[in-house]
Chains A and B, each alone.
Chain A
Amino acid sequence: MNFTQNNHLTYTIGDRLFGHRETPYEKYKVNVGKIDHDYYKTSNWLEQQYRTADIVFKEFGKDLIVFFSGGTDSEIVLKAFHQIGVKPRAVFIKFKNDYNIEDFKIAVSIAEEMAINLEVIEFDVKEFYRSGEAAEFAKTLQCRQIAYLTVYYNILKLQSPAVMGGEMLLRRHVTSTDSKWYYCIRENEDASAMRFSLKYKIPLVNEWFSYTPEMIGYYLEDPTIQWLISDRYNYKLGSVTSKNEILERLFPNITPKIKTTGYEHLLGFNGETYRELYLTHPRRLESSLDGIFIDDLKFQLYGPDYDSSKT
């Protein structure tokens, strides 16, 4: 099963590939593949989006589903498929009591604009949690985020290959002496997508924005990303608040919107589930990163001859 191009992006826990945590002491490690230098000179980030759509469509076939949240990431995924002449099924998970109605309206509007039939799943996310189903699923997959569990649960029902989007999240890691930025692929969230896919044998892409090594390379070269990770006193701790501005610049005709999570009306619930579902996991006591430092990432991407001054 390919989660990224030729599975260039991998993680291990206690040296087990795409495994789950068995003890509180095991290290979590993320690795990425090498870019093709000659090809890298001739392509760009946008081309990598279309290339990814092409590869994923060839692997997943016409039954593939894009989980469309109305956000920028999944809008780009849909438009990348659209650009290569593919119309995947687009599914929106609409919460009971209109908790994510604003996102739903945006999703409907974008789907209409693209002449896509938006399939809507009515879902009672609170009942999913209260019934204990979410906790059982959380334990099985070692995933603590209700948003991810909700999507996995519905993929399982639909039994179709799926794409979830998946931003390339960068975060600042702060120590007592300095701070270093890292590419964050969270052990109990992002990595759970691979565990889900392998367990239920349903193809799933959750790292669309890291799908090829080249795509990662171009993103890291973006001037806003460069500013984020090189200016110590920009008072930024993550790339989340800068992401939409970057993506709107990199991908043509993206609907401008404020970054949301879909849980703005469920903040207390989201926090409670995040804490409670963690009780189904082995506690993590070793402070290995939830990702890979940018320096190490670049070294892996560009190889040992990498000269940081040239990028």
Chain B
Amino acid sequence: MTVVKLDSSHKDAVKELFQTKKYMGIDVADSSFNPNGDGDEFNEVLYNIFCSNYLSDLNNFHAYGYLEDGKVKALISFYESNEEPSWFYTIYRSSGNNNMLRDVLDEVIKHNEERGRLKFYTLTTSKHTKLLRRFHWSKYNNERYGYFDEFLVPAKNKCLYINPWELLFKRFLIPEDSIVRCNFLKQEYRITLPIGGNL
């Protein structure tokens, strides 16, 4: 397994992952994503968001990827919140092998747990809420993490809450009902609480 933290040197290596026809299981040529009906434009926008936010040496924005033969085959980006000990699972891209994505997610969860962040938020369309868990989670973390669905944003509606709107929705109107879910490390696994204060 070669899961690495991605940086600006991986810009070309990830580009292929953004040349797809689907985003959150929805056709990227859908007019809600692209007023011009051009899927390539949406992919370009998403790729640019990914590079400028997650590959630019920022303090709160990070990404991990599965590296094989010099190419990134799967990646997950995330945001470390300033306001509470949580993180936001913001973008995933995969060439189709879910095992790679599971390995990346394990590494991202490990990264955050080491920094005292034991819960995180995800966004899926309402019809895919079960799939994410089934296909992208390792057995190990699937057992350790519980979840609850926090709120549903109806199709083509703007999310009310600022952080999910900026981070999960990336200011896009999703053309299907979508759900923001809070995933949390179960209490029985919280043996030592992270320290939440310092001087």
| Interface residue ranges, A against B (CB under 8 Å) | 24-25, 27, 172, 174-179, 232-233, 235, 283, 285-288
User: Which residues on the B side are within 8 Å of A174 (C-beta)?
Assistant: 198-199
- Does B195 sit within 8 A of A, measured CB to CB? yes
Query: Which of B61, B194, B195 contacts A25 (CB under 8 A)?
Result: B61
Please tell me if the beta carbons of B58 and A25 are within 8 angstroms of each other in the complex: yes
- Does B162 sit within 8 A of A, measured CB to CB? yes
Please tell me if the beta carbons of A179 and B199 are within 8 angstroms of each other in the complex: yes
Please tell me if the beta carbons of A176 and B60 are within 8 angstroms of each other in the complex: no
- Does B79 sit within 8 A of A, measured CB to CB? yes
A sample of 24 inter-chain contacts (CB < 8 A) reads A24-B166, A25-B52, A25-B56, A25-B58, A27-B58, A174-B198, A174-B199, A175-B198, A176-B115, A176-B116, A176-B195, A177-B198, A179-B198, A235-B199, A283-B163, A285-B61, A285-B79, A285-B82, A286-B59, A286-B60, A286-B61, A287-B60, A287-B82, A288-B59
Please tell me if the beta carbons of A285 and B60 are within 8 angstroms of each other in the complex: yes
Please tell me if the beta carbons of B59 and A287 are within 8 angstroms of each other in the complex: yes
Please tell me if the beta carbons of A176 and B198 are within 8 angstroms of each other in the complex: yes
Please tell me if the beta carbons of A283 and B59 are within 8 angstroms of each other in the complex: no
The prevalent SS among residues of B at the interface is loop
Total of A-B residue pairs, C-beta within 8 Å:
41
Write the nearest CB–CB distance from A301 to chain B, whole angstroms: 24
The prevalent SS among residues of A at the interface is loop
| CB neighbors of A among B157-179 (8 A) | 162-163, 166-167
- Complex: chain A residue closest to B194, CB-CB: A176
Query: Which of A25, A178, A286, A288 contacts B198 (CB under 8 A)?
Result: A178
- Complex: chain A residue closest to B54, CB-CB: A25
- Does B98 sit within 8 A of A, measured CB to CB? no
CA distance A76 to B91 in the complex (A): 53
- Does B53 sit within 8 A of A, measured CB to CB? yes
Number of chain B residues whose Cβ lies closer than 8 Å to a Cβ of chain A? 19
Write the nearest CB–CB distance from B14 to chain A, whole angstroms: 18
User: Which residues on the B side are within 8 Å of A288 (C-beta)?
Assistant: 59
User: Which residues on the B side are within 8 Å of A176 (C-beta)?
Assistant: 115-116, 194-195, 198
CA distance A285 to B59 in the complex (A): 10
CA distance A27 to B57 in the complex (A): 10
Write the nearest CB–CB distance from A279 to chain B, whole angstroms: 9
- Complex: chain B residue closest to A177, CB-CB: B198
CA distance A285 to B60 in the complex (A): 8
User: Which residues on the A side are within 8 Å of B60 (C-beta)?
Assistant: 285-287
User: Which residues on the A side are within 8 Å of B195 (C-beta)?
Assistant: 176
Write the nearest CB–CB distance from B8 to chain A, whole angstroms: 14
Query: Which of A27, A177, A283, A286 contacts B162 (CB under 8 A)?
Result: A283
User: Which residues on the B side are within 8 Å of A25 (C-beta)?
Assistant: 52-53, 56, 58, 61
User: Which residues on the B side are within 8 Å of A178 (C-beta)?
Assistant: 198
Query: Which of B56, B167, B198, B199 contacts A285 (CB under 8 A)?
Result: B167
User: Which residues on the B side are within 8 Å of A179 (C-beta)?
Assistant: 198-199
CA distance A174 to B198 in the complex (A): 6
CA distance A175 to B115 in the complex (A): 11
| CB neighbors of A among B47-94 (8 A) | 52-53, 56, 58-61, 79, 82
- Complex: chain B residue closest to A172, CB-CB: B199
CA distance A25 to B115 in the complex (A): 21
User: Which residues on the B side are within 8 Å of A177 (C-beta)?
Assistant: 198
CA distance A172 to B116 in the complex (A): 21
